[in-house]
Structure 1
Amino acid sequence: MASSSSKDAVVLDVDGHEVRVSNPEKPYFAERGIRKIDVVEYFVAVGGGILNALRDRPTTLERWPGGFFEGARLSTRVDNTGDAFYQKRVPKNAPEWVPTAHITFPSGRTADEIAPDSVAVVAWCANLGTLTFHPWPVDKDDVESPNQMRIDLDPQPGTDFADAVRVAPHVRELLGELGMQGWPKTSGGRGVHVYVPIRPRWTFPEVRRAVIAFGRELERRLPAQVTMSWWKEERGEKIFIDYNQMARDRTIASAYSIRPRPNAPVSAPVDWDELPDVRPEDFDVRTMPARFRAVGDKHAGLAEHAFGIEPLLELAERQAKDEGLGDLPYPPDYPKMPGEPMRVQPSRARRSTSGSS
């Protein structure tokens, strides 16, 4: 990675492309002394790994153009006055070498999203203030068929990373029984993500249904530790299997993404056997490049496999037949889906029922 610089910018040569980094000395994680140029150089240092995670996938950018600081917050649909924002459409000033993928959102609206094919594209996005990359579980050549099943172990209040780690071996065991393999990573926060490569022949609703079946079986085996309840008031102090991460347009922070927290943590691929001994804070912008040089990309094997989800769809059929278990609610911003139950919070439904009696 060659570079040239002036007072106001640094130009990096990345994969044969010139990537201009404006305001390179701008603080991005002031408490750690991490500057904008450090963020860009971090992504270049782990370039082979993050490109494995993003290559040819439509990717939403989580942009923090002012860096992360105490009190910083993300804009939302309701309040767009935050310090950071999600960018789904490719910026108008993108170089011609930045590829895109045409995708359709649940609302029916469409967009051309960045679909990285080089580390230079990742570095260019980092110059825009991108800390976290959110890739779709599809390839840009077939955006209707997921080729990854993503299992999100999401600690609820009263639980933490250690609780998610205790559930993880059971995820591995169940996948093995189904003839599948998973690749775990830290979320960069309190959770654990497990990626399962699958054949791209199923629709989003089918893959989501497979994750629901998987989560329900895990909940049956670990009722004191795991919950599949969409409603927070019913989850308790358990690990929620966030099945709606497989709904269309829902994404998970990629491996090697930086998370907007004071210590600049990153989402780290790990081996199953080392998972019990790591902590989320072990992996950050400062420490991950050395780990990457030493051990390489722990998710490199993902690309060598593609499993069928037929056993999970068959499990879903049995759950429906034997236990009467159908679909579960989609996120509130989604159109009503066929077979979906009512999106009514249980306590509100009880109040409505008692009020009409």
Structure 2
Amino acid sequence: GRTDFQALQNCMKNPQVKNLTYIVFDLLALDGTDLRGHRLIDRKETLAAMLQDAPKNLHYSQHVRGNGRENFHVACEAGMEGIIGKKADSIYSPTRNGDWIKLKCEKRQEFVIGGYTLSDKKTSGVSSLLLGIYEGEKLIYAGRAGTGLTERDRKELEKTFKSIKRMEPPFPLAPKPRSNEKITWLEPELVAEIKFAEWTEDNLLRQASFKGLRQDKDPRDIKKEKADDEIQPQSSAIEVEEPMKANDNSVIIEGITISNPDKLIFADPEVTKGDVVRYYAKVAERMLPYVSHRVLSIVRCPKGISQTCFYKKHPGPGSKGIVTIPVSSSDGETEDYFYIENIAGLIAEAQMGTLEFHTWGSRVDELEKPDMMVFDLDPDEGMDLNRVRQGVRDMKNILAELSLSSYLKTSGGKGYHVVVPLQPAVSWDMFHDFARRVAQVMEQKWPDLYTSNVRKAKRADKIFIDWIRNGRGATSIAPYSIRARKGATVSMPIAWDELDTVAPDGVNMAEAIRRIGGNDPWKDFFSNKQQLK
């Protein structure tokens, strides 16, 4: 069974609704004798004997000796809160002394910010965020997050929110303000990453905590992410690795055991997990210079793109083939990120179900000096492809006027990416500001064609020049990466003279493999010595 905090609360309110199961994990006294000075393993042995003929709703808590990492994986994959690790020979202590440790599985996902509250104890700032997810065209209220916000976060968010306030709630069924607070509604244009304990039966978040804004996410793409056993669409809230298990059907590729290689990942065309791994093995030589030694965010679809996909940027317990790196945030907090070094890391990630590789714009040895600038030309829905191609030419010409050579690749979606290699010479702030000004030049020169504004309302019949991915912590899809989209498309480097013949989603895995057998259109990418000053 699995613990259910919401069910317990409901039962306490209405004891007639559900039966409780009581799980007993320790025995501190027996017949007047204090057992707290006895070893845990002895206390549990006595307890197990006592509960042999216990009623059905009274359970002895089984334990497992050793294999802590594996058991933690299993608990997290089953959607449990985590595990407790205990020293078998420890005596009972009413205080924390390290003999017992709690290992929790985190749940995270992105939510759209639809408003914020301010309590009557404050005159300014943000008390909590009102969050939502899209179901079709409707933004559904999902709860609030009031923890995790530093004072700096509250001030910066308040400043950011000023330009997107609205009178009416963006939620069809909006929450009512509590007695001691005021609600300010916002245009649903910002996305936050939230850590939380669980979804309640009312489809609201419990113990939601703010982790940061996600500028690389389109709010319209934010859907509810379900646990694996619920067959989720676009994310797993649990950032835990699934152990690689060999079976009779497993194969070995580049020295790594690939489980379930016949599992269908794409339906049209039919592409199996084995096909995905073999693809990355074949393109590794071309791909690794752009991916290795760069902080990664990845998209995994272990059950195929029609079911489970999730975004992951932090290493989980027992990660294989990766290197962990601590990265400090602007508020001084440090979190672990990860990167790969070689083909083994690439294949290990593919074995875990990774389809998409997204990279930082800097290498780990020069983390604060970016060297790869990416402009994503994102057209409005239904725009003629010739207009998009002209936008790419205009971007190339603007960069050329600045004496910058650029390179072209397909996005695997609806636009193209123009990529500028640079020497690692300037800070993230200067790098980010330069990218913004390039996009603004495009906008000012052709105001009817392009916009540098991320807001959806400003994009009507225009191409959004997405420069935002050039900020510290933002990522872009790596060259040669598969996209987790229908058709098994690839973000493929192409030559400039191929712009009129190759569509943004015109290269799939099979075509990508055929192409790497020919000339490399980006062969001088890393020999380019241009830099910002």
TM range (shorter): 0.7 to 0.9
- Map of 1:66-105 to 2, 5 A cutoff? 66-69=303-306, 72=307, 83-95=308-320, 98-105=322-329
SS in 2 for 1:60: strand
- Given the alignment, which residue of 309, 331, 354 partners 2:532? 309
SS in 2 for 1:299: coil
Quote the Cα distance in structure 2 between the aligned partners of 1:107 and 1:39: 39
Matched, 1:42 2:279: yes
Partner of 1:209: 433
Partner of 2:59: none
Q: 1:180-234: CA deviations, max 9, x gaps? A: 1111101000111111112222222211110111111112222221111232212
Q: 1:84-129: CA deviations, max 9, x gaps? A: 211112232234x533333234565433333222122111101111
Partner of 2:366: 142
Q: CA 1:268 to 1:161, structure 2 compared with 1: closer, same or farther past 3 Å?
A: farther
Quote the Cα distance in structure 2 between the aligned partners of 1:233 and 1:128: 38
Between Structure 1 and Structure 2, the one with more strand by share is 2
Q: CA 1:29 to 1:212, structure 2 compared with 1: closer, same or farther past 3 Å?
A: same
Unaligned runs of 5+ in 2: 1-245
- The more displaced of 110-119 and 143-152 is 110-119
Partner of 1:25: 262
C-alpha deviation, 1:283, in angstroms: 0.8
- Map of 1:253-268 to 2, 5 A cutoff? 253-268=477-492
Partner of 2:468: 244
Q: CA 1:19 to 1:47, structure 2 compared with 1: closer, same or farther past 3 Å?
A: same
* 2:424/2:531 contact within 8 Å kept: no
Determine which structure has greater relative contact order: mean sequence separation of CA pairs < 8 Å that are 6+ residues apart, divided by chain length: 1
Q: 1:50-72: CA deviations, max 9, x gaps? A: 11220211111111111112xx4
Quote the Cα distance in structure 1 between the aligned partners of 2:447 and 2:407: 24
Partner of 2:128: none
Give the fraction of aligned pairs with identical amino acids, expressed as a percent: 30
Partner of 1:300: 523
C-alpha deviation, 1:163, in angstroms: 2.7
TM-score, normalisation: structure 1: 0.76
Quote the Cα distance in structure 1 between the aligned partners of 2:290 and 2:261: 26
Quote the Cα distance in structure 1 between the aligned partners of 2:505 and 2:455: 29
Partner of 1:11: 252
Quote the Cα distance in structure 2 between the aligned partners of 1:280 and 1:34: 20
SS in 2 for 1:165: helix
* 1:102/1:140 contact within 8 Å kept: no
SS in 2 for 1:29: strand
Quote the Cα distance in structure 2 between the aligned partners of 1:257 and 1:108: 32
- Given the alignment, which residue of 496, 510, 515 partners 1:291? 515
Matched, 1:175 2:399: yes
**How big is the alpha-carbon RMSD for the aligned residues of Structure 1 and Structure 2?**
1.9
Partner of 1:271: 495
Aligned length: 288
Matched, 1:120 2:344: yes
- Map of 1:154-173 to 2, 5 A cutoff? 154-159=378-383, 161-173=385-397
SS in 1 for 2:387: helix
- The more displaced of 105-114 and 138-147 is 105-114
C-alpha deviation, 1:165, in angstroms: 1.4
Between Structure 1 and Structure 2, the one with more helix by share is 1
Unaligned runs of 5+ in 1: 73-82, 311-357
- For 1:196, the aligned partner's letter is V
* 2:416/2:504 contact within 8 Å kept: no
* 1:58/1:100 contact within 8 Å kept: no
